[in-house]
Amino acid sequence: MEHPYGYIKDGKVYLRGFLGRDDREIGEVKEDEASTISYFEARFEQIKDKVAKLKSDIAENQNKGSFLMKLIHLRDSLYQTDALGDFIPLIETLNEQEAFLNEIIQVNRSKNLEVKRTLIVEAEGMRDDTDWKNTAEFFKELKMRWIKTGPVEKEIHEELEQEFNDSIQTFFENRRHFYEGMALQAEENIKVYEALVVQAREAHDFPDAKMAFEISKRIQREWKEAGKVPAEKRQPLWDEFSKLNNRIFSRYKRTLNPGPTMHPREVLRKIETMVDELKKMAHQPTAYAVTTRAKAIQEEWKKLPAHKPKEANLPARSYQFFMDIIFEKAFLEKLAYGKFPGYDTMPIEEQNQIKSGILKDLLHRDQSELDTMQNNSDNFRVQTPDFEMMMRKKLSGLKRKVDVKNYILKQLSPRI
């Protein structure tokens, strides 16, 4: 049976060759030849509809270039489709549409190239900018514009990408180096602040109030000239530094205005009275009233003459010893409350055991520090008497801390 675009032979259905291709078997007769021909003609009509639909989609859509690959796949499939009909007009239609799309794509790629070269110029203009925050946001936005811009010719794609990314990479590398440098400088600046705090501690313990004041003025000027560091690292150092310098100034001011003159015997009696009261308070349980009274006695002590009689040396040491006991016991009580839930409801014996355990840990630390300083004291010996006196004062302070804790520990020990 013959057909304008094919034929049936020996029960097989053939499509006549076109565009230089040979005849091709596309199926076989199932029921009868007429219905078989109708089936393959219907399949061709479906192919025609696909081509017409694609042409319509291209005409109606703005992003026409996106249909190019679909068109190519459809045209390639026409040479293998099992259907009866005139394929040549369909292929010609698709060829025309391909040429149309290629022309549009070429125009778009020229536009894309122009846009991308403009973006490259913008990137190069900002690559060395040092407004790190705003410029980083600028480059993020520029990168999005680059991504949204369509493709260019394959031959220059890599070159353009490299030019654009080089500028972005240069900026972010510069920013990284800047912040790394800032971090390193901050570490150096912290060492300066730490050294100034050490000098403030030494000046605070210096026997000569006037010389301590002169040192304080100098290191405060140096503090103002020191470089930047993160606030969270600088603040603790400043808290200690300012507190030490305030104390130095207060002591110096007292030497300028020593207050009312008191007879040495009156000073001695006043100190002995304070010591007697403090000794009694040191043996009492910790309470708000005890620490409040101890603070009031400290204020009374400040009103005594700076230069006390020689006979007051021993009572003065007792004053400091018992005062330390009172505040150490208060501190110990606070630690116990904080570390052991329900501490205030425990029996006294259990509370004492807890405080003894905490105190032993603190005592071990202080004793180790004292031993270390005693063992190394020879390394700090210099010719100046003031420095030797300062070292002796430090050792004396550490020893008193150890003695205070041992004294409290003995109070807490169960009596047999």
Mean pLDDT on 329-352: 90
Predicted confidence band of residue 416 (pLDDT cuts 50, 70, 90): very low
Looking only at the bridges linking them, the beta strands covering 12-15 and 2-3 are: unpaired
Predicted confidence band of residue 44 (pLDDT cuts 50, 70, 90): very high
CA gap 240, 384 in Å, rounded: 27
Dihedral pair phi/psi, residue 83, rounded to 5°: -160, 160
Digit-coded pLDDT (tens) for 210-242: 888 999 999 899 888 887 888 888 888 899 999
Residue 227 neighbours by CB distance under 10 Å: 12
DSSP letters of 382-405? -S-HHHHHHHHHHHHHHHHHHHHH
Side-by-side strand order, sheet with 2-3:
2-3, 6-9, 12-15, 24-28
**Highest mean pLDDT (candidates 62-76, 248-262, 363-377):** 62-76
Please tell me the predicted confidence (pLDDT) of residue 385. Answer: 58
Taking CA atoms, 253 is separated from 207, 216, 281, in Å, by: 14, 13, 31
Cβ atoms of 101 and 65 closer than 8 Å: yes
Mean pLDDT on 171-181: 83
Please tell me the predicted confidence (pLDDT) of residue 328. Answer: 92
Predicted confidence band of residue 179 (pLDDT cuts 50, 70, 90): confident
**Region of residue 155 (left: phi > 0; alpha: psi -120 to 50; beta: else):** alpha
Please tell me the predicted confidence (pLDDT) of residue 61. Answer: 87
Please tell me the predicted confidence (pLDDT) of residue 57. Answer: 92
Residue 127's identity, in one-letter code, is R
Please tell me the predicted confidence (pLDDT) of residue 390. Answer: 66
For 382, the token pair is 């210099």
Predicted confidence band of residue 304 (pLDDT cuts 50, 70, 90): confident
For 207, the token pair is 């026997």
Digit-coded pLDDT (tens) for 246-271: 999 888 887 776 555 678 888 889 99
Q: Which residues contact 337 (CB under 8 A, 6 or more apart)?
A: 343, 344
DSSP 378: G
Residue 345 pLDDT exceeds 60: yes
